[in-house]
């Protein structure tokens, strides 16, 4: 458990910074000129979300929340592979 | 106390590299260079955050280790798939550029629509071939 006041406020501050980082990352999803640009930006956003969920587990002090991050990473991997294959081959499987 | 200081330092390291990676994704000029920048977030940024979490709360260390191993395995594969799709689209665009006659039309617009058309055309060809093969097989069995 996190005891000192300093560490608790630092974790909250870094969580806030990561949430703010989602905004410029979604800029590339909206603007990105080509399809692979948008896909890589969505991949970046899910990576940031995994980090946010880990920090959320630290704030809430419940280790079980990290399981959500593992599940999100797994589904994001499957989705990225599938859409990359759709972009390059014109089909999913 | 020392453990907490180290953990906060690792979290700051991870957040710093996340910010660097997002900045690179916005500012880089090319798709492949942008992929390079987003790879930094997946390795240095996320692993800094995971290390900081394990130091601050040792009861999550095992789960964070599993998550780190999973990301270590899958993140390069996903990035490689995206890079391969970029390469394939460029190849098709290059082919289209070679086929295009100089006098056809002079607008050198990006080939995004053309590349998608080629991909769907090749898919359509496959479907037509499969249908023809089924038809031939049916004719063959009818003839017997």
Instruction: Give the per-residue pLDDT at B105.
Output: 55
- Main-chain phi, psi angles of A4, to 5 degrees: -70, 145
DSSP B41: I
Q: Any chain A CB within 8 A of the CB of B100? A: no
Q: Would the pLDDT of B75 be above 60?
A: yes
ipTM confidence: 0.89
Stated pTM of the model:
0.82
Has residue A9 been placed in a domain?
Answer: no
Q: Round to whole Å and give the CA distance between A51 and B42.
A: 9
Are the C-beta atoms of B5 and A14 separated by less than 8 Å? no
Q: Round to whole Å and give the CA distance between A88 and B34.
A: 18
The domain total for chain A is 1
B123 vs A contacts (CB less than 8 Å) = 90-91
For helices A5-31 and A35-60, give the axis angle rounded to 10 degrees.
160
Q: Could you report the per-residue pLDDT of B13-68, keeping only the tens digit for each?
A: 999 999 999 999 999 998 999 999 998 898 899 999 999 999 999 899 999 999 99
Are the C-beta atoms of A74 and A65 separated by less than 8 Å? no
CA distances from A82 to A75, A91, B1, B82 (A): 11, 9, 45, 10
Which domain range does residue A79 map to? 15-89
Candidates B85, B87, B93, partner chain A, best to mutate (most A CBs within 10 A): B85
Spell out the per-residue pLDDT of chain A, length 93, in tens. 677 888 889 999 999 999 999 999 999 999 878 888 999 999 999 999 999 999 999 998 899 999 999 999 999 999 999 999 888 877 766
Instruction: Give the per-residue pLDDT at B143.
Output: 66
Which carries the bigger pLDDT value, residue B139 or residue B27? B27
């Amino acid at each position: 458990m996190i005891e000192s006041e300093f560490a608790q406020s630092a974790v909250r501050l870094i969580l806030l910074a990561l949430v703010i980082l989602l905004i410029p990352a979604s800029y590339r999803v909206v603007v990105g000129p080509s399809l692979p640009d948008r896909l890589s930006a969505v991949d970046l956003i899910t990576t940031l979300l995994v980090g946010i969920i880990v920090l959320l587990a630290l704030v809430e002090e419940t280790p079980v929340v990290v399981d959500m991050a593992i599940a999100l990473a797994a589904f994001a991997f499957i989705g990225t592979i599938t859409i990359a294959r759709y972009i390059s081959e014109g089909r999913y499987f | 106390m020392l453990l907490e200081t180290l953990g906060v330092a690792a979290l700051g390291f991870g957040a710093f590299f996340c910010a660097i990676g997002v900045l690179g994704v916005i500012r880089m000029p090319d798709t492949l260079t942008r992929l390079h920048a987003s790879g930094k977030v997946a390795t240095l940024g996320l692993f800094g955050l995971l290390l900081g979490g394990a130091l601050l709360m040792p009861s999550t260390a095992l789960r964070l280790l599993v998550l780190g191993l999973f990301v270590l395995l899958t993140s390069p594969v996903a990035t490689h798939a995206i890079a391969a799709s970029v390469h394939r689209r460029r190849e098709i665009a290059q082919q289209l550029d070679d086929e295009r006659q100089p006098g056809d039309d002079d607008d050198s617009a990006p080939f995004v629509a053309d590349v998608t058309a080629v991909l769907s055309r090749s898919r359509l060809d496959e479907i037509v071939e499969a249908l023809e093969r089924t038809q031939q097989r049916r004719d063959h069995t009818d003839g017997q």
